[in-house]
Amino acid sequence: MTDHADLEADLLDRVRAAAEPAALEAVRLEALGKSGAISALLKSLGSMSPDERRVQGPAINGLRDRVAAAIAARKAALDAAELDATLAAGRLDLSLPAPPRRRGCVHPTMQVMEEMIAIFAELGFSVAEGPDIEDDFHNFTALNFPPRHPARELHDTFFLSPDANGERKVLRTHTSPVQVRTMRRTNAPAPAPWIAAGQAPPIRIISPGRTYRMDSDATHTPMFHQIEGLVIDRAIHMGHLKWTLDRFIARFFELDGIVTRFRPHHFPFTEPSAEMDVQCDTSGGEVKIGQGHEWSEIVGCGMVHPNVLTNCGIDPDAWQGFAFGFGVDRLGRLKYGMPDLRDMFASDTRWLAHYGFSPFATPNPASGLS
Ligand code: DAH
């Protein structure tokens, strides 16, 4: 017994004295390792008589447990001390300025699209989409363009090389082909949950997207964006069109009482057709909407031509409606005052940083549109 007590006292002393994990591990091996002192005692139990074992067994096991517990406790203490030392040595200086983070921003055109979609959603429109590469039927023929219309010429429109059948696809010159796709796709399923399916009338859709024309000056770029609108029902008339556009303008420019005017115009796909202008003042070098005595053209519109309805399989004696097409970039320019439309697509990050919008401020009617 005294031997055991001496051994225990000696081991516990050395455990206490171990100043680092490696020294402690050496003590553990000497006591509990394969050929350690306590392991040898445990082995000796096998050659004892049962009576002897009854006495020695609990004593040796108790010794082993106490020494193992002392080693575990010492190990925890050494580990904690090591962690404290690491933390103390590697202290973070929170007063240092953080390295600058580059954050992207939303392009004004995309912001304006979101604003427009939010307003039209409020008015009960859903979003429909179509391809940028169109065929002649959807871009021109179904929309009642006569065969020799100037838009069908190479100097106005980007055509792709003819395919194996001799068909020349076109980069769509407007978003109006989506009207045709929506009306003709009567029973097609929606391509995504947030996109309107093709549908039989009544129809109330808008179609935002990229459009292409051979044009480049301060107010035109070869690629630009439009939002098309289409409403078809039994008794839709010009009054509904005018109310819808006036309502939109008031919401978009966040101003009541903006004077608008409808000028007669011509589009092959509407009859009658009009362009709507908003009252503005450009005298101070910047455009101010809703004041002054000048006009800025803002949207083409009209009552859908009966030929277009017929081309899309809708009976023009039973259904009628209106359509409109906004230039998104142009509207953004009027609202946010960019001088030259071409800068919008020059990919100059300084321009974007100046005119861009926070990605965290998605326009919606509740929190504000701009
Ligand atoms: N597609 C016309 C354009 O690009 C815009 C437009 C005018 C669309 C009248 C319409 C509309 O739907 O009714 O100039």
Per the CB < 8 A criterion, the answer to whether 105 and 357 are in contact is: yes
pLDDT tens sequence across 124-147: 999 999 999 999 999 999 999 988
Asked if 206 and 229 count as a contact pair (C-beta separation under 8 A), the reply is yes
Is 112 a residue whose pLDDT tops 50?
yes
Residues 6+ apart with CB under 8 A from 22: none
pLDDT given at position 179: 95
The confidence band for 368, taking pLDDT boundaries of 50, 70 and 90, is confident
Q: Is the pLDDT confidence value at 31 over 70?
A: yes
Closest residue by Cα to residue 141 from 103, 184, 98: 184
Q: Can you tell me the distance from the alpha carbon of 158 to that of 333, in angstroms, rounded to the nearest whole number?
A: 25
Global pTM exceeds 0.85: no
User: Which H or E element spans position 177?
Assistant: helix 177-184
Beta strand pairing status for 126-127 and 203-212?
A: parallel
Whether 151 has a pLDDT exceeding 50, the answer reads yes
Mutational pocket test of ligand 1: of 269, 275, 307, 328, the residue with most ligand atoms within 8 Å of the beta carbon? 269
Per-residue model confidence (pLDDT) at position 102 = 81
Ligand 1 within 6 A of 279 CB?
no
Per-residue pLDDT of 256-303, as tens digits, reads 889 999 999 999 999 999 999 999 998 887 888 989 999 999 999 999
> What are 60-83's pLDDT values in tens digits?
999 999 999 999 999 999 999 989
Report the nearest-CA residue for atom 7 of ligand 1: 300
Is 305 close to ligand 1, i.e. is its CB under 6 Å away? no
Evaluate: CB of 276 within 6 angstroms of ligand 1: no
Report which secondary-structure segment, H or E, holds 289.
strand 288-289
Residue 366 confidence class, pLDDT cut points 50, 70, 90: confident
108 CB under 6 A from ligand 1? no
Q: Which helix (H) or strand (E) holds 204?
A: strand 203-212
* CA dist., res. 277 & res. 76, Å (int): 80
Angle in degrees, 0-180, between the axes of helices 2-17 and 50-89, rounded to the nearest 10? 10
pLDDT at res. 18:
92
The pLDDT, as a whole number, for residue 194 is 56
Q: Ligand 1 centroid vs 338 CA: distance in angstroms?
A: 24
Residue 89 pLDDT greater than 90, yes or no: no
Position 176 confidence tier, pLDDT thresholds 50, 70, 90: very high
Cα 149 to middle of ligand 1, angstroms: 15
Query: Tokens 């068909």 identify what position?
Result: 167
- Whether ligand 1 lies within 6 angstroms of the CB of 174 is answered as yes
**From CA 75, how far away is CA 13, in angstroms rounded?**
14
